[in-house]
């Protein structure tokens, strides 16, 4: 009798595991396909600009994109995650007041950031490592930030709706526009204004695509925003800012640290070497986004809905078990032939970026795990721990880049600093979650693969 009970319990547990894994694997596959398409289109745009205009043009574009990213972080109060979490976890009037309050917060932050960029463009350009004569470019970036903030708000609503398929397709809009515009922009790269115009056109296309994607949810969204309830609610504001403020602080700190690092590279080694660094950075970011983008649609809302510690741990373990092998295989393939991939995605001029890519690939594998283990902090609204982990990582990036520049070039020091940053962040997040058992062994196996291949192909 006891054996039957044990067998029945085991059968139920396997059935529950299948119910967790099947939708997770499906969502990851769908989102990964969208991320892969997005990455491919981004690679096409970078390839065209690199091949036609060269490393210096790519360095200028990367600098403008970095300034735009900082502006976007401020223009949204980095509240995309907080918005998606609230839309998933709340309902009724409570959700309506939360979303209205979040919308007003987005609008206020966007107006503030756009005003700063328009009033102090020369100073912003200088902080980004560009000459003050680039002020006109920064004014265009103000428009890019404003339009992109609307896109973040709309996609956060889609995330809250659980529209994984539509989000996956929507990822293609911006990179697709960049790929189309890259050729005419590269041919006119002698006129730097070409690049911010290209960024503005791409951002506008993403908003149009997002509005079209949301059309089937008009009635649902009308119920979310229209009806009883206040347009500004103090408790809703606190709830939004409890996560958004932490994300804003860490987002600005991370972007500021990267901007600081890139400005040191530009001032010391020039825009061309910054372009080489951006090539390595781009390969790293595009491949790691295959894993992270495939998770973000499902992971945070699922953790926010989990009601017990066991449910949360099972969700974390399932995600890590799927993500670790996938990221390890992709990173190992790239590490085995770094010059080939740099030539394929950019041009033969960028083969020397292998020097930086060998470090950033190691950091990528650590980044995937640290991201997975940091999301439970947001799901539990543990703002202090999230802040401590991310701000510590940002401090490591800036400090290690300065310290290592005594022995290496600023660009290589930044690449090594990237790896150290995610090592520290992972250590803090692992201590917080304290996950044990098979997921940790699987992750360690993936790390061994990445280190082994990287060591064998270190000097290629």
Residue 27 has pLDDT above 60, yes or no: no
What average pLDDT does the segment 317-327 reach? 84
Rounded to whole angstroms, the Cα distance separating 240 from 85 reads: 9
Residue 350 has pLDDT above 70, yes or no: yes
Per-residue pLDDT at 295: 62
What average pLDDT does the segment 327-342 reach? 90
Weakest-pLDDT range from 82-91, 324-333, 355-364: 82-91
Positive or negative, the CA dihedral 63, 64, 67, 69 is: negative
Per-residue pLDDT at 291: 64
Per-residue pLDDT at 133: 76
Residue 212 has pLDDT above 60, yes or no: yes
What average pLDDT does the segment 143-170 reach? 84
The per-residue pLDDT for range 79-98, each reduced to its tens digit, is 887 888 778 777 788 888 88
Q: Cα separations (Å) of 303 from 299, 346, 418?
A: 6, 39, 28
Per-residue pLDDT at 9: 44
Q: Residue 13 — very low, low, confident or very high, per pLDDT cuts 50/70/90?
A: very low
More confident residue, 170 or 303: 170
Rounded to whole angstroms, the Cα distance separating 104 from 393 reads: 31
Q: Cα separations (Å) of 94 from 97, 151, 246, 414?
A: 5, 24, 22, 45
Q: Residue 12 — very low, low, confident or very high, per pLDDT cuts 50/70/90?
A: very low
Of the candidates 368, 381, 348, 58, which has an alpha carbon nearest to the alpha carbon of residue 240?
A: 381
Kindly state the DSSP code that residue 133 receives in the 8-state scheme: G
Per-residue pLDDT at 293: 61
Looking at mean pLDDT, say which of 47-51, 190-194, 212-216 comes out highest. 212-216
Per-residue pLDDT at 194: 85
Q: Cα separations (Å) of 451 from 117, 166, 282, 325?
A: 43, 36, 20, 14
Rounded to whole angstroms, the Cα distance separating 96 from 229 reads: 7
Residue 348 has pLDDT above 90, yes or no: no
Per-residue pLDDT at 174: 82
Angle at 252 between CA 76 and CA 175, to 5 degrees: 60
Q: Residue 26 — very low, low, confident or very high, per pLDDT cuts 50/70/90?
A: low
What average pLDDT does the segment 40-66 reach? 82
Per-residue pLDDT at 56: 82
Rounded to whole angstroms, the Cα distance separating 365 from 196 reads: 32
- pLDDT above 90 as % of the chain: 19
Mean per-residue pLDDT of the chain: 82
User: What count of Cα atoms within 13 Å lies in the side-chain half-sphere of residue 75?
Assistant: 26
Check: CB of residue 202 under 8 Å from CB of residue 178: yes
Residue 21 has pLDDT above 60, yes or no: no
429 Cβ contact list (under 8 Å, min separation 6)? 369, 370, 373, 374, 377, 389
More confident residue, 305 or 4: 305
Per-residue pLDDT at 33: 61
Per-residue pLDDT at 10: 43
Looking at mean pLDDT, say which of 10-19, 186-195, 408-417 comes out highest. 408-417
Weakest-pLDDT range from 69-73, 83-87, 138-142, 155-159: 83-87
Per-residue pLDDT at 79: 84
Residue 410 has pLDDT above 60, yes or no: yes
Backbone angles phi, psi at 408, to 5 degrees: -130, 170
Give the total residue count for the chain.
460
Residue 19 has pLDDT above 70, yes or no: no
- pLDDT above 70 as % of the chain: 86
Residue 235 has pLDDT above 80, yes or no: yes
Per-residue pLDDT at 164: 67
Per-residue pLDDT at 34: 60
What average pLDDT does the segment 352-378 reach? 88
What average pLDDT does the segment 35-49 reach? 75
Q: Domain residue spans in the chain? A: 16-456
Residue 54 has pLDDT above 60, yes or no: yes
Residue 15 has pLDDT above 60, yes or no: no
Q: What is the pTM of this model?
A: 0.70
């Amino acid at each position: 009798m006891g054996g039957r009970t044990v067998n029945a319990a085991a059968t139920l547990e396997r059935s529950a595991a299948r119910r967790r894994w099947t939708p997770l694997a499906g969502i990851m596959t769908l989102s990964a396909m969208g991320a892969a398409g997005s990455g491919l289109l981004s690679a096409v745009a970078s390839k065209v600009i690199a091949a036609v205009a060269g490393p210096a043009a790519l360095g200028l574009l990367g600098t403008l994109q970095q300034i735009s990213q900082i502006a976007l972080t401020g223009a949204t109060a980095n509240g995309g995650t907080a918005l998606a979490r609230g839309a998933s976890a709340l309902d009724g009037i409570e959700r309506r007041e939360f979303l209205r309050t979040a919308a007003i917060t987005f609008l206020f932050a966007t107006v503030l950031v756009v005003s700063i960029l328009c009033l102090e463009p020369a100073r912003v350009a200088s902080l980004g490592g560009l000459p003050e004569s680039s002020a006109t470019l920064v004014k265009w970036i103000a428009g890019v930030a404003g339009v992109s903030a609307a896109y973040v708000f709309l996609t956060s609503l889609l995330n809250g709706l659980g529209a994984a398929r539509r989000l996956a397709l929507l990822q293609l809009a911006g990179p697709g526009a960049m790929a189309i515009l890259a050729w005419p922009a590269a041919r006119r790269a002698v006129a730097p204004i070409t690049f911010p115009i290209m960024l503005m056109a791409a951002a506008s296309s993403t908003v149009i695509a997002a509005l079209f994607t949301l059309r089937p949810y008009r009635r649902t969204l009308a119920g979310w925003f229209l009806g009883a309830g206040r347009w500004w609610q103090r408790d809703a504001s606190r709830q939004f800012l409890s996560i958004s403020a932490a994300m804003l602080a860490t987002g600005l700190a991370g972007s500021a640290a990267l901007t600081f690092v890139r400005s040191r590279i530009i001032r010391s080694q020039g825009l061309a070497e910054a372009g080489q660094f951006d090539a390595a950075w781009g390969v790293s970011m595009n491949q790691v986004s295959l894993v992270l983008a495939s998770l973000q649609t499902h992971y945070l809302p699922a953790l926010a809905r989990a009601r017990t510690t066991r449910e949360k741990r099972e969700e974390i373990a399932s995600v890590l078990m799927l993500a670790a092998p996938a990221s390890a295989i992709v990173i190992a393939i790239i590490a085995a032939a770094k010059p080939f991939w740099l030539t394929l995605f950019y041009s033969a001029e960028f083969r020397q970026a292998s020097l930086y890519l060998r470090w950033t690939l190691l950091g990528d594998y650590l980044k995937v795990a640290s991201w997975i283990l940091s999301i439970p902090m947001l799901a539990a609204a543990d703002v202090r721990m999230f802040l401590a982990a991310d701000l510590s990582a940002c401090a490591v990036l800036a400090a290690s880049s300065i310290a290592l520049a005594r022995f290496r070039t600023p660009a290589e020091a930044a690449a090594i600093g990237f790896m150290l940053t995610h090592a520290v962040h992972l250590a803090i997040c692992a201590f917080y979650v304290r996950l044990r058992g098979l997921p940790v062994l699987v992750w360690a196996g993936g790390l061994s693969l990445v280190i082994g291949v990287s060591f064998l192909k270190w000097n290629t």
